[in-house]
Structure 1
Amino acid sequence: MRTAKIFMSAMMALAASTSAYAADISDGKVKIGILNDQSGVYASFGGKYSYEAAKMAAEDFGGTVLGAPIEVVTADHQNKTDVASNIARQWYDTEGVDSIMELTSSSVGLAVQALSKDKKKITINTAAATNELTGAQCSPYGFHWAFDTNSLAYGTGGALVQQGGDSWFFLTADYAFGYSLEKSTSEFVKEKGGTVLGAVRHPLSTADYSSFLLQAQSSGAKVIGLANAGLDTSNAIKQAAEFGITAGGQRLAGLLFTIAEVHGLGLEAAQGLTLTESFYWDRDDESREFGKRFMERTGAMPNMVHAGTYSAVLSYLKAIDKAGTDEGDAVAKALKELPVNDVFAKNGRVAENGRMISDLYLLEVKKPADSKEPWDYYNVLATIPGEEAYLDPAKSGCSLVAQ
């Protein structure tokens, strides 16, 4: 009898403890929204694969945080800012979503981050590239993982100039992301002693690049920088081959290109491309184990967006656990205090402006004959220290940082 009373007392204490923990969690659960392009030019870049990466992180964390269950939901913003904003508002106002992540495309990322700032909700961008997210449009609740235009430009732009590609012409996506990537790369090209001969802008998801490529070809530039992403980059590379651009001696630089696009394009077309990613599945034993698990779920190897989303979700949950609540200010503070050590980043840190700083990798796409197995696509040319590749927070223009 006495044993039964002791057991019941222990169970009641545990229940009270669990209730106390859950009481610090809004709605009694933590709900994370993965908002991205699932049907357009960036569907492979992030899309359903980021959703799976987020679910993997929630499962690996244990499925609960502070005694509350973790739920991951997703939606397609169709690369439309108004659609994304409406979904985000509905998620926050009626569906109990606590944080929104991934956010493919810079215009969407900026819009949702601004909305989330008003509602004191955490956003972690893992697929939008513009520096403005942690620059002039930074937010105390906004964080930026995986890459940005400055780090990509530093990696690919600077490296090609040093390899002799000292004159550039840009094919640029006609929106905020493209402008930012072109600007950052141009600055690094000039800093390394190169010149920029011109640029042409194309609409998002255009089907015909002929007039743009002819302008780039006639410029005589040694390097044609593709300041776009997803299928836009892949289609530009395919059509460049039809015009004999690389056969004529000019070089293509994919300024935002990932293993997902290399796979879609094929090694025959993509071979020789130089690019920068912040994750490669075949980097070490830990990344290979993660890649294998991801492949079993999706049929594809993860790129930096997918692995970055995994890291962002994991870091968010760790921050809630540290803060003892999912309240925005407390979680934001914890995110900036915790180091980032996971399969995506080693010894990463979150700066005052919300930029997560970790290493990147300068990569070259292998020739078909050099690839030994499926998804064995890269030669790792160099590790790029994050402290060099990312903009100094004090120079970012973010109001959260002492300038």
Structure 2
Amino acid sequence: MAMNFKRKFLTALVMSTLLGAGAAHASKDNVIRIGVLTDFSGTYADIAGKGALTAVEMAVEDFSKDRTVNGKKIEVIYADHLNKADIAASKAREWYDTQGVDIIVDLATSSAALAVTAIAEQKNKIALVTTGGALPLTNDKCTPVTLHWVYDTYSLTAGTAKTVVDSGKKSWYFITADYVLGHSLEQEAAKVVKANDGEVKGAARHPFPGSDFSSYLMTAQSSKADVIALANAGSDLANTIKQANEFGITTSKQTVLPLLMFISDVHAMGLKTTQGLTLTEAFYWNRDEKTRAWARRFYQRAGKMPTSAQAGDYSGVTNYLKAVKATGTTDTATVMKYLKSTPIDDGLFKGQIRADGRLAHDMLLVQVKSPAESKEPWDYYKIKSVIPADVATMPLSQSQCKLVKK
């Protein structure tokens, strides 16, 4: 299966190149082209990757059986940005300029997402961010063409960090990935800790990607902090938690707290390793009948349950296509105006897109089940509480976004 996907991936890249500028411009008026630009081979491949492409394809097929809207054919292309901002920016520029791409979707890695949203603004095209989570995307780096759909570092810490501090665990130590998302996670969590009479005892920055986290964990352990907060993600997060288990930290008085963890991470590590961990999620497949029905269809195609980012890919593309159909155009300003004025409610996400481009929606505070509590494969979470959208989203009164009227 992996080799088959690899062949298809390489073929798609070759075909994307062969289309050429002339062919793309010639077909531009007759094709709505969606570009899935994300991590297909690295740290975030399980979070986004092939599953992101599957979710987008499902959205297109569910929207229109003949894959058309307003008489125009809908096409999906994709590429691996290798978690590098320069590659992401180059591919975005190529897609917008020569491939007739109308919207770029997913954008794992916040540095890549920020690079692409800047290009999108220059080209007056839409960028839909689902996997990238840095707050600046809709704060000081906001653009009129950015949609930030699933989560950001504010929404993640508004639930998890406050709950843990309120439980009496006041002193924190951060192990942080040394890049945009890691810095943003640490910064937002630290704000919550300090605002609730807690203290930050220290922080260690690790390179991305990493493999050996032993020195960082030993320093965090010796700090005697109540909480060792992990401001990283993907395989970095998994390796940190596994090594914390090996050192006996997860069974000690210190609390190991993942600030960004996906269901794919829990699946990869197993319930024995992750049981009892508390985290904030934007989507859980087993929440209700609608999420279960969609997720099981996704499972039939992908062989796994969807992450919140992949669910966001489906939701975001579905609503984009609805906007194109309703307005009769792919004009960026018209589509964005429609999206920001129309409530979102597609069975997976429910909320409202704000002036800054952020989809404000409820978040879920969850705890990972023990093996004994899990009733079926992928039944991993206990929903502890629902964090309302107005609590989970940074108030516009605090925003630095140029689109927000004070």
TM-score tier by shorter-chain length is over 0.9
By how many angstroms is 1:230 displaced?
0.5
Q: Does the alignment pair 1:187 with 2:191? A: yes
In 1, the alpha carbon distance for the partners of 2:165 and 2:40 equals 35
Amino acid at match of 1:41: T
> Equivalent residues in 2 for 1:138-287 (5 A)?
138-287=142-291
Partner of 2:243, secondary structure, is helix
CA contact (8 A) 2:37 2:80 kept: yes
Q: Residue 388 of structure 1 corresponds to which residue in structure 2?
A: 391
Within the candidate set 45, 48, 59, 1:46 is matched to: 48
Q: Residue 110 of structure 1 corresponds to which residue in structure 2?
A: 114
Q: Residue 82 of structure 2 corresponds to which residue in structure 1?
A: 78
Amino acid at match of 1:195: E
By how many angstroms is 1:157 displaced?
0.5
Q: Does the alignment pair 1:301 with 2:287? A: no
Q: Residue 94 of structure 1 corresponds to which residue in structure 2?
A: 98
In 2, the alpha carbon distance for the partners of 1:315 and 1:127 equals 17
CA contact (8 A) 1:319 1:338 kept: no
Within the candidate set 328, 331, 351, 2:332 is matched to: 328
Amino acid at match of 1:181: L
By how many angstroms is 1:318 displaced?
1.2
By how many angstroms is 1:195 displaced?
1.6
Q: Does the alignment pair 1:354 with 2:365? A: no
CA offsets, 1:165-198, max 9 Å, x none?
2211100010111111101011111222222111
Within the candidate set 51, 58, 63, 2:60 is matched to: 58
Amino acid at match of 1:105: T
Listed as ranges, the gaps of 5+ residues in structure 1 are: 1-24
CA contact (8 A) 1:26 1:326 kept: no
CA offsets, 1:326-381, max 9 Å, x none?
011111111111111012212x1000010100111000000111111100000000
Partner of 1:379, secondary structure, is strand
Partner of 1:57, secondary structure, is helix
In 2, the alpha carbon distance for the partners of 1:314 and 1:193 equals 43
Q: Residue 36 of structure 1 corresponds to which residue in structure 2?
A: 38
By how many angstroms is 1:29 displaced?
1.2
Amino acid at match of 2:46: S
Within the candidate set 112, 123, 126, 1:122 is matched to: 126
Partner of 1:84, secondary structure, is helix
In 1, the alpha carbon distance for the partners of 2:196 and 2:288 equals 31
By how many angstroms is 1:65 displaced?
1.4
Amino acid at match of 2:357: G
In 2, the alpha carbon distance for the partners of 1:362 and 1:379 equals 9
> Equivalent residues in 2 for 1:369-384 (5 A)?
369-384=372-387
Amino acid at match of 2:211: A
Kindly report structure 1 stretches of 4+ aligned residues shifted beyond 2 Å.
none
In 2, the alpha carbon distance for the partners of 1:241 and 1:182 equals 22
CA contact (8 A) 1:217 1:245 kept: yes
CA offsets, 1:251-270, max 9 Å, x none?
11111101011000100101
- Taking only aligned residues, the RMSD between alpha carbons, in angstroms, comes to 1.1
By how many angstroms is 1:240 displaced?
0.7
Identity percentage of aligned residues:
48
In 2, the alpha carbon distance for the partners of 1:44 and 1:393 equals 33
In 2, the alpha carbon distance for the partners of 1:131 and 1:192 equals 21
In 1, the alpha carbon distance for the partners of 2:30 and 2:325 equals 14
In 1, the alpha carbon distance for the partners of 2:198 and 2:347 equals 36
In 2, the alpha carbon distance for the partners of 1:319 and 1:394 equals 28
By how many angstroms is 1:392 displaced?
1.3
Paired residue total: 378
Partner of 1:315, secondary structure, is helix
Q: Residue 369 of structure 2 corresponds to which residue in structure 1?
A: 366
Partner of 2:326, secondary structure, is helix
By how many angstroms is 1:232 displaced?
0.6
CA contact (8 A) 2:55 2:298 kept: yes
Amino acid at match of 1:54: V
Partner of 1:369, secondary structure, is coil
The structure with more radius of gyration: 1
CA contact (8 A) 2:275 2:368 kept: yes
Q: Residue 7 of structure 1 corresponds to which residue in structure 2?
A: none
In 2, the alpha carbon distance for the partners of 1:395 and 1:68 equals 41
